[in-house]
Amino acid sequence: MELKEFKVIGKRLPSHDSIEKVAGQTKYADDFGLPGMIYGKILRSKYPHARIKRVDTSKAEKLDGVYCVLTHKDVPHNAIVTRFGQTRAVGGFEGIFRVLAESKVRYYGEPIALVAAETEEIAERAIDLIEVDYEEMVGVFDQKEAMDPKAPQIEEGKSNVIARFKIRKGNVAKGFEEADVIVENEYMSQFIDHAYLEPEAGVAWVEDDGSITIRVSTQVIEHYREIAHVLGIPESRVRVITPKIGGGFGGKEDITVEYYLALLAWKTGRPVKIVQSREESLSFRSKRHPYKFRYKTGAKKDGRIVAVEAELISDAGAYMTLSPWVLLYSTVNAVGPYNIPNVKVDSYTVLTNHPPSGAYRTFGAGQACVAYEQQMDEVAKKLGMDPVEFRKKNYLRKGDTMANGVEVLNTVALSETTDRVLEALGPKPKPSGPKKLVGFGIASGMSSYGRMIFLHDTSRSKVRLELDGSVTIECGVQDVGAGQEASLCQIVSEVLGVPLKKIRIISGDTAATPIAGTTTATRQLYMSGNATLKAAMKVRENILNKASEILGADPAELIIEDEKIKKKDGESISLRDVAVACAEDGIELFCEAQFNAPFGEVPDPETGQGRVFPDFTFGTVGAIVEIDTETGEVEVKKIASAFDVGTAINPMRVEGQIEGGASMGIGWALSEDVKFEKGVAKAQSLAEYIVVTAVDIPDIKSIIVENHDGLGPFGARGVGEVVLTPVAPAVINAVADALGRRIKELPITGERILLAIKDQV
Amino acid sequence: MRPTSVILTDFDYLVPKTLEEALKEKRERKGSYILAGGTDLIPKMRGQVVKPVFLIDISGLKELDYVKEQEGRIRIGAATKISRIIDSKAKIGILQEACKKLGNPLTRNKATIGGNLCNASPAADTATPLMVLGAELVLRRLDGERMVPIEEFFVGPGRTVLKDDEILTEIRITPPEDGVKTKFLKVGLRKADAISVVNCAIALKAQNNVIMEAKIALGSVAPTPVLAKEARKVLIGNKLNEDLIEKCAQVAAKEVKPISDVRGSARYRELLVEGCVKKVLRELME
Amino acid sequence: MMKKYPLEFRVNGKKFSVEVRPNVTLLRLLRSLGFTEVKSGCEKGDCGTCAVLMDGEPVNSCLTLALQAQGKEITTVRGLGTMENLHPIQEAFVKHGAIQCGFCTPGMVITAKAFLDKNPNPTREEIREAISGNLCRCTGYQKIVDAIEAAAKKMRGAR
């Protein structure tokens, strides 16, 4: 767009929906109900690996107030093939998913039966009346152990290794020969929970025509297709609506309660509500994929890295779901934002008897960063080089080739972000007391925005100018609170000169809004933003053409501003009058536009060479920590976080993302751990699963760098995930600096620090 | 038993208008539980850990809600909220330090000191300060009362000497004399809104830097909050300096027998005892 | 079947006379009466999304039995302001970008209101301490602290 000076883009405007949220008017999934609504509950497995010998639901069915009890026998298509890609199914990684357990259970908490009853209380009592005879089986709870052919098989007759990827660039053997130093290390990343404040919830009902509608907190309304398939009905007869979501972070990307809602509503004919407890959410829902890493890096005396060999193994949990894709992200991101001539990566994802691991903000890129940024510090140490100088010697630049052979086409502002972070943090302070240690750590990282290009991603949005000059946007975006709706409003406001308070957006409804695609992969601003921009520009074109007729001027000479179309000499016409004129002449005042991401194909499986993502966002985080050597407690004293966001559509929202990412990353590094023991989660409530409170995090210095060459609208890049990617490694590196040694086990709790200091563990 | 989304237990709910009424109900109703703040009891009911037949709500009994000085002693009603204790002007500094760290600002507006004690978690934050203050607890029955020194109140995790027909009504503290210094320290898994992994309360009386009297209480390192008697012996009659602090802390760490649980290992707790005792003593030394 | 008990109380100035079973929490009752702005995030007192004012004091409604609200005045965030007429704290939250998904917001505003009533001139540290029982997963707390600080300043100016 040719506009040089933006009126709305780039301004710190409050999001349009913040007023309704702060006034307590927003109806999230559990805030909605219908007359005659009944309640659903889930009977879950008591063992992580067991055969089901017998399920007897008769006592539960007889309980007063129970409407139905369902098992897998009642599900038309219970075992389905996991299909990834919404509209383009990519072959090679089909996994089974079971809505309800059949002959065996594969994880503690796996759903076995569903109950619908008059009240939640009756439903809970009915759950306890269902009798299940289990025959316990030996389970496997470690991804490396599960790779052994002799380990218990999660899917009988099939290997637990469900996907593997390779990257081969150059010749690592030769690279290591040339190296002056070689550093080999193992790292890991732990089970983490999304811990959004809103637990999984939804309501489903049968419409007058017998079709099913589900109003559920979800990042992917397109699950309506899978739901239709499970029920054995046409896709057009399932509607999914998402209200505002109380936090997603990937945890509401997989189907959560939709299947259960649809089945119970369908069987009973009544509206059904399911709300999961925090205990269910923490114990049984998807988690961040844990990883085990082995990295070998070769570098020359002058600091140039010549070779990296890496092995990555993730714990997929009991079902495949998204694990191969998370693995691919980790693989493509494995060596980080560095220019390395020789790269060998082998990655594996393995089934175990844990709950199925799922999507979680950064989707495997953050775990890779935990490994590669720790490794960067270790190599710098071996070389006796400053960690910042070492990184600067190796940062990718425009024109370089990434590990998967892809040329970097636009700016990589890593040095700039690093310098800004160092400036913000200032010099490393002295310890505040004799028993304290201070550490300084940085980490650089990258995350893609836009989905994998072989998925042929598209997004649609519709912009409609009302006859009074106000605007309605219809777009299937799912709003998790990161401005998915608000950014679209700002874009339309800029293009059509309409104030934000006259713009209304309707979103997240498969029957009423154009499908915009998933709220995942940091793709919404890029995809639905571009689609909305395209639609708004078409409406603008029609308006300008009509206005030029009326005003007698070239459309190129007109500007739209403050709800008026103006000529250079000041003569103007109101937007409303032009709208009316268009309507009278049958000129379209709306446009539904589609934006296509670049389409590609799956990379070569033997070499991993080939573009996977449309683009990346890069940045650096720095942290200063202070450790109390007597109690092991770690305090993050300062944190600065800089990213090249291309163009910040709304700097206030971008800062909000950076700050939220910082708090999640600190938890990742220092305190969050689901603590599975033989497949059972020990952290069952937010008293045991430790996220940061307002007292555990300092003021965050957010630094926005803008090079305006992103692929999103107005040159924007996606930021939602990358703002988390380098945070944990920066904190981990700061702790290592303070202690003079590295603790590899995450999270680095006070216990691990105290044992390291006192017992040299 | 699994936690359910709603409280499944059926119970009768009683709101006595006087303490006497409450005592009568407690005696007469089998399976009755006292409800004050509810911050422990309600999650336990939802978790099916506790299944009351009767719930006796004393949260509104003004008779049990006070902080007052009487005959040289500070008397705190058992149903006094933690937030009220924090705001009080009474000379109970170490107890207030602990109260400021108990739960979070919201739960402090409901939780009561009596509830914290009767819930009898070994990690109870008010217990260790009361132990070094030499508090006495008033346990009342319909036909009388008895005084129990706080060190004798706890029997095991979640268990006290309270009989079925007794209610804890008052905590009596002799305010520390002039010259007695006190301090409380708690270590949790984060800086706020955390259950103690270890907590430590110390009271010292020194003359010319020689320790005349001392009490060290430790929480979350044994089935009940405990007094570290061996560590105390190290202090009595000696000059408070770095070496003594080091020695005392080491003895305290060896004296306790903590367990490993979801919050930390036994070894971590031993090390925390050492660290906390050192930090507190050092601060008292200044 | 459990007995129901009569309950009379006020919410945002409006009187309610209901019959409830004793094992129902105030959180559940409020939500069933339509006050869905009071959220359920954990029902254990760990997250603060259920915070309401009870006779002016901020408490977790999930840790309060409905019957314990007998004769009391409950205030929820809808009682502080409306979309047309926001309370200064609500205005500050909007202006400073302190709201992302918004799920923690009602509880956070309630806590902030009670806190500023007691401490009208707080430091940032004191603000952080005051909201330490209200978890937020989206914002990193930064802009929430900014908003409460700004609201305090505005409210002091207005006095």
Longest dimension (CA), chain B: 62
Distance from CA of B41 to the nearest CA of C (A): 9
The answer to whether A218 faces chain B, any CB pair under 8 Å, is: no
C-alpha to C-alpha distance for B30 and A450, rounded to whole angstroms: 64
Name the minimum distance, in Å, from the CA of A751 to any CA of chain B. 6
Q: Which of A428-432, A561-565, A567-571, C91-95 shows the lowest per-residue confidence on average (mean pLDDT)?
A: A567-571
β-pairing verdict for C14-20 and C5-11:
antiparallel
ipTM: 0.98
A630–B187 C-beta distance less than 8 A:
no
**Does residue C111 share a domain with residue C48?**
no
- Of B60, B47, B61, B56, nearest to B12 (Cα)? B56
The one-character DSSP state at B120 is: T
Considering the domain architecture, whether residues C11 and C72 belong to the same structural domain is answered as yes
**In which band, very low, low, confident or very high, does the pLDDT at A2 lie, cut at 50, 70 and 90?**
low
Q: Which positions in chain A touch B278 (Cβ < 8 Å)?
A: 630
Hey, which bits of A458-562 come out as E strands? 458-465, 471-475, 503-507, 559-561
pTM greater than the 0.95 cutoff:
yes
Q: Taking the CB of residue A409, how many other CB atoms lie within 10 A of it?
A: 12
Residue contacts between A and B (CB atoms, under 8 Å): 78
Q: Which domain holds residue C146?
A: 88-158
Interface-testing mutation among C99, C104, C148, with chain A (most A C-beta atoms within 10 A): C99
pLDDT at residue number A605:
87
Residue in B closest to C40 by C-alpha: B5
pLDDT digits 0-9 by tens, B233-282: 999 999 999 999 999 999 999 999 999 999 999 999 999 999 999 999 99
**Measured between CB atoms, does B43 come within 8 Å of chain C?**
yes
**Selected residues 424-443 of chain A with any CB under 8 Å from a CB in chain B:** 435
Residue B102's closest CA among B113, B93, B92, B91?
Answer: B113
Distance CA B130, CA B92 (A): 9
The C-alpha R_g of chain C, in whole angstroms, comes to: 16
pLDDT in tens, A395-428: 999 999 999 999 999 999 999 999 999 999 999 9
* Nearest CB to A685; choose among C44, C127, C128: C44
C137/A18 touch (CB, cutoff 8 Å), yes or no: no
Chain A hits for B262, CB-CB cut-off 8 Å, are 675, 682-683, 688
Mutate which of C2, C25, C60, C109 to disrupt the B interface (most B C-beta within 10 Å)? C60
The last residue of a domain, from among C44, C79, C114: C79
pLDDT of residue A1 exceeding 70? no
Q: Is C28 an interface residue toward B (CB < 8 Å)?
A: yes
Q: Which of A721, A643, A644, A719 is nearest to A410 (CA)?
A: A644
C126 and C75 both lie in a single domain: no
- String of DSSP letters for A109-126: T-EEEEEEESSHHHHHHH
Confirm if A312 and A331 have CB atoms less than 8 A apart.
yes
The pLDDT value given to residue A85 = 60
The pLDDT tens digits for A208-229 are 999 999 999 999 999 999 999 9
Touching C (3+ Cβ pairs <8 A), the chains are A, B
A275 contacts in chain B (CB < 8 Å): 5
Cβ neighbour number for residue B36 with a 10 Å cutoff? 29
Q: Are A369 and A729 in contact (CB under 8 A)?
A: yes
User: Given phi > 0 = left and psi -120 to 50 = alpha, else beta, which region is B48?
Assistant: left
C117 shares a domain with C68: no
Tell me the one-letter amino acid at A78.
N
Question: What is the per-residue pLDDT across B171-229, written as a single tens digit (0 to 9) for each?
Answer: 999 999 989 999 999 999 999 999 999 999 999 999 988 999 999 999 999 999 999 99
Nearest CB to B192 within list C5, C111, C132: C132
Instruction: Out of A86-95, A466-475, A482-491, A578-587, pick the least confident.
Output: A86-95
| Residue A582 amino acid letter | C
Listed residues C79, C97, C112: the one ending a domain: C79
Lowest mean pLDDT among A115-124, A198-207, A440-449, A604-613: A604-613
| C159 touching chain B per CB within 8 A | no
> What average pLDDT does range C133-154 have in this prediction?
98
Q: What does DSSP say about strands A212-216 and A342-351: parallel, antiparallel, or unpaired? A: unpaired
Name every chain A residue with its beta carbon within 8 A of the beta carbon of C146: none
**Phi and psi at residue B56, to the nearest 5°:** -105, 110
Residue of C nearest to B4 (CA): C43
CA-CA distance, A76 to A55, in Å (whole number)? 18
Residues C11 and C67 in one domain: yes
A283 touches chain B (CB under 8 A): no
- Residue C58, chain B, CB below 8 Å: the answer is yes
B283/C5 Cα distance (integer angstroms): 53
What is the DSSP code (8-state) at residue B231? H
- Flag whether residue A690 sits within 8 Å of chain B, measured between CB atoms: yes
Residue C101 shares a structural domain with residue C133: yes
Structure tokens at A520: 């995942």
Check CB contact under 8 Å for C94 and A199. no
Q: Judge contact between A325 and A221, C-beta under 8 A.
A: no
Judgement on whether residues C40 and C93 belong to the same structural domain of the protein: no
Return residues 128-157 of C near A (CB < 8 Å).
128-129, 131-145
CB atoms within 10 A of CB A149: 8
Query: Does C39 lie at the interface with A, CB-CB under 8 angstroms?
Result: yes
Query: Regarding beta strands A503-507 and A471-475, do their DSSP bridges make them parallel or antiparallel, or are they unpaired?
Result: parallel
Q: What is the 3-state secondary structure (H, E, C) of A145-199?
A: HHHCCCCCCCCCCCCCEEEEEEEEECCHHHHHHHCCEEEEEEEEECCCCCCCCCC
Segment C124-127 long-range contacts (CB within 8 Å, at least 24 positions apart): C124/A699, C124/C149, C127/A694
We report the CATH number of the domain holding residue C13 as 3.10.20.30
What is the share, in percent, of chain B residues with pLDDT greater than 70?
A: 100
Supply the DSSP symbol for A367.
Answer: H
CA C90, CA C113: separation in Å to the nearest integer? 10
Instruction: Give the three-state DSSP class for B39.
Output: coil
A758 vs chain B: nearest CA distance in angstroms?
8
Band of pLDDT at residue A89, cut at 50, 70 and 90: low
Residue of C86, C97, C140 lying closest to A652 (CB–CB): C97
Q: What local confidence, expressed as pLDDT, does residue A92 receive?
A: 67
C25 at interface of B, judged by CB pairs closer than 8 A: yes
Percent of chain C with pLDDT over 90: 97
Our CA-based measurement puts residue A541 at a distance from the nearest CA of chain B, in whole angstroms, of 55
Which subunits sit against A, judged by 3+ Cβ pairs under 8 A?
B, C
* Count of domains for chain C: 2
The neighbouring-strand residues paired with A461 are: A475, A593
| Residue whose token pair is 């997004």 | A459
pLDDT above 70 covers a percentage of chain A that reads 98
Q: C49–A662: do the CB atoms touch at under 8 Å?
A: no
Closest-CA residue of A relative to B265 is A751
Choosing from C29, C62, C79, the residue where a domain stops is C79
What pLDDT score does A450 carry? 96
Q: Which residues of B lie inside 8 Å of A (Cβ-Cβ)? A: 2-6, 8, 104, 187, 189-195, 197, 262-265, 267-268, 271-272, 274-276, 278-279
* A691 to chain B, closest Cα gap in Å: 9
As a whole number of angstroms, the distance between CA B186 and CA B194 comes to 9
Domains along the sequence of chain B with CATH:
12-57 (3.30.43.10), 62-173 (3.30.465.10), 180-285 (3.30.390.50)
Question: Cα–Cα distance between A647 and B206 in angstroms, integer?
Answer: 65
Residue-wise pLDDT for C39-80, tens only, equals: 999 999 999 999 999 999 999 999 999 999 999 999 999 999
Choose the closest CB to B104 out of C24, C65, C133: C133
C57 touches chain B (CB under 8 A): yes
**What are A231's two structure tokens?**
């029920």
Do C48 and C103 sit in the same domain of this protein? no
User: What tokens were used for A1?
Assistant: 């767009």
**Cβ C140–A662 below 8 Å, yes or no?**
yes
Ordered domains of chain A (ranges, CATH): 18-27+458-596 (3.30.365.10), 32-137+200-275 (3.90.1170.50), 291-452+602-759 (3.30.365.10)
- What's chain A's average pLDDT? 96
Compute the average pLDDT of residues A365-377.
Answer: 98
pLDDT score, position A83: 67
Write down the pLDDT at residue A5: 81
The partner residues of A274 in beta bridges, in order of sequence, read A202
User: How far out from the chain centre does Cα A91 lie?
Assistant: 23
Q: Contact C36/A275, CB-based, under 8 Å? A: no
| C69 and C116 in a common domain | no
Average pLDDT over residues B4-22: 96
Taking a contact as any Cβ pair under 8 Å apart, which residues of chain A between 693 and 732 contact chain B?
693-696
Contacts of A244 in chain C (CB under 8 A): 101-102
8 Å CB contact of C63 and B13: no
Q: Do C78 and A24 touch (CB under 8 A)?
A: yes
| B243 contact partners, CB below 8 Å, separation of at least 6 | none
Model confidence at B1, pLDDT cuts 50, 70, 90, reads confident
pLDDT (0 to 100) of residue B229: 97
Chain A interface includes C81 (CB < 8 A) = yes
Q: Tell me the two tokens of residue B28.
A: 């007469």
- Answer yes or no: do C36 and A14 touch at CB < 8 A: no
Chain A residues within 8 A of C145 when measuring between CB atoms:
694, 699
C68 and C134 belong to one structural domain? no
User: What is the distance between the alpha carbons of residues A614 and A607, in angstroms, rounded to a whole number?
Assistant: 19
Residue C29 touches partner A, C-beta closer than 8 Å: no
- Selected for mutation to probe chain A from C63, C101, C113, C148 (highest A CB count within 10 Å) is C101
Using the Cβ of C75 and the Cβ atoms of chain B, whether some distance falls under 8 Å is answered with: no
Q: Which residues of C touch A17 (CB under 8 A)?
A: 102
Q: Judge whether A133 and A46 are in contact, CB under 8 Å.
A: no
B12 touches chain C (CB under 8 A): yes
Q: Where does A294-446 have alpha helices with state H? A: 323-332, 365-383, 387-394, 414-425
